Structure 1
Amino acid sequence: MAKGDIVTREVTYPGRACALKSYVAEPASAETSPAVIVVQEWWGLNEHIRDIARRLAREGYFAIAPDLYSRQGHKVATDPNEAARLMGGLNKADGIADLQTTVEWLRAQKQTHSTRIGITGFCMGGSYALLLPCESKEISAAAPFYGEIPADEKLERLNCPIFYAYGENDGWIQRADVERLIAALKKFNKQGEVKIYKGCSHGFFNDTRADVYRPEEAKDAWERTLKLFAANLKG
């Protein structure tokens, strides 16, 4: 079996309000692996998010991408208006609850119950990837990409090191909030790196979107994410 071989599967487990569906990618040969939760963009659990889970599995992680639209019938959007409607229909507390359920499911698996858990997310998912470690002590590293910045009273409770990726031309996330995150990390003595990528727009990591994708910057952000996870989840 070649290094980097992975297996993938769909899993379903009970959530607070409905059955949650998730996509799992894991190393084919590992008995135990550190886990990483991959949180979707506003489009839903699409092929791009599944591909990110597979990339992480090839790096030795048990990657799980929960469908945060499970409560809305597991929908996947391609139209921005539909994506906005779906995102608007997801109460933030419900999203956090479903992520916490995913953590509980991970803890029940023999491959991950004794390992550390990381989280990454993009756009809407980046918001959850930064918020969850402010709400849960189960997260050991977080790599949010261009997500909303929680209030300082939540950032004060941040429980793990982070890497936050942001494009300077982002039309959704305000630069002032990103500067506030930088200041909060210092003020509250939290471990973290914030990287502002010149000339990049919101979604610059998404290689399925030619209008915003920036390959060199995406490669750099991915390498920093892997470095963060290796330092805090492995060993």
Structure 2
Amino acid sequence: MAKKQSRPGKGAPRRAGQDWDFPADGDGAPALHGYLALPASGHGRGVLVLQEWWGLVDHIRDVCDRLAREGFVALAPDLYHGERARDPDAAGRLMMDLEIPRAERDLAAAAQALLGHQSVTGPRLGAIGFCMGGQLALFAATRNPRIGAVVDFYGIHPRVTLDFSQLEAAVLGLFGERDSSVPPEAARKLESDLQSAGKRVRIRIFSGVGHAFFNDTRPDVYDATAATSAWADTLAFLRQELG
């Protein structure tokens, strides 16, 4: 069972990004909130970063910062609108209470805002998601042809339905051999479904690791070797697909 989220220590690196409000998708809707990280160069390809079931927590901000240090402009929209979970029961409730039509609108607004940001270059975005966010990254790409690359870290959400006939993005899937939430057979089925739909996909199943192996704020599940390899794959994939 997942344990509580830990907080970064005093030695955590300074944030590269900042909180950012952007227009909602719809007239009169309140502004949406997210975390935006810019590269030192001031410009780069845009990447959406989609949260785990915990919410927009420090781990997700850190992923944005890491992408910025690699030359990308990274935006993590707050899909829970300010709510955070500190324990698995609360996280599960937030995930299941997520209104998918509202999340779809929020994802569309985030993509539009990121594409319109003065620092973003190129016509297409990448999308990276973790756990719940992995499934939502795929979902967003089936709704938005301007998402050209999806990195799905052990994605799962029982109420998200995917129509791969509408997908134009290439997909990189990163899963753990010992993941009881998204077991290897689920990862292989995803690969088979994408291939049957004629989509470009690469799935990696990392030996000996479980769900959330990339989350370094959770020492009970984090695996440094798998995470380092998965990150290298992620960067290479985004650079190849986004240019």
Residue 212 (1) aligns with residue 224 (2): no
* 1:57 aligns with one of 55, 65, 68: 68
Displacement of 1:24 in angstroms is: 0.6
Q: Deviations over 1:152-192 (max 9, x none)?
A: x7123221111101112111124333222121232222111
The code of the aligned residue for 2:142 comes to C
Over the matched positions of the two proteins, sequence identity in percent amounts to: 37
Q: Secondary structure at the match of 1:10?
A: strand
Kept in 1, the 8 Å contact 2:40–2:69? The answer is no
1:120-139 matches, cutoff 5 A: 120-139=128-147
Partner of 2:99: 91
Kept in 1, the 8 Å contact 2:129–2:152? The answer is yes
Q: Secondary structure at the match of 2:86?
A: coil
**In 1, Cα distance between the equivalents of 2:121 and 2:44?**
9
* 1:77 aligns with one of 85, 88, 95: 85
1:212-231 matches, cutoff 5 A: 212-231=221-240
* 2:181 aligns with one of 172, 181, 194: 172
**In 1, Cα distance between the equivalents of 2:232 and 2:132?**
21
Structure 2: any 5+ residue segments left out of the alignment?
Answer: 1-13
Q: Work out the number of aligned pairs and report it.
A: 225
**In 1, Cα distance between the equivalents of 2:203 and 2:239?**
18
User: How large is the Cα RMSD of the aligned pairs?
Assistant: 1.9
Displacement of 1:19 in angstroms is: 2.4
* 2:124 aligns with one of 113, 116, 119: 116
Kept in 2, the 8 Å contact 1:37–1:117? The answer is yes
Residue 190 (1) aligns with residue 199 (2): yes
The code of the aligned residue for 1:202 comes to H
Q: Secondary structure at the match of 2:64?
A: helix
Kept in 1, the 8 Å contact 2:45–2:121? The answer is no
TM-score w.r.t. the length of structure 1 is 0.89
- Deviating above 3 A after TM superposition, structure 1's stretches of 4 or more consecutive aligned residues are none
Partner of 2:17: 8
Q: Secondary structure at the match of 1:41?
A: coil
Kept in 1, the 8 Å contact 2:176–2:211? The answer is yes
Kept in 2, the 8 Å contact 1:6–1:57? The answer is no
Cα distance change of structure 1 residues 6 and 75 upon mapping to structure 2, 3 Å threshold: closer
Structure 1: any 5+ residue segments left out of the alignment?
Answer: none
Q: Secondary structure at the match of 1:196?
A: strand
Kept in 1, the 8 Å contact 2:47–2:128? The answer is yes
Residue 28 (1) aligns with residue 37 (2): no
For structure 1, which segment, 178-187 or 49-58, has the greater mean C-alpha deviation from structure 2 after superposition?
A: 178-187
**In 1, Cα distance between the equivalents of 2:31 and 2:88?**
26
The code of the aligned residue for 1:58 comes to R
Residue 142 (1) aligns with residue 150 (2): yes
Kept in 2, the 8 Å contact 1:106–1:113? The answer is no
**In 1, Cα distance between the equivalents of 2:173 and 2:61?**
21
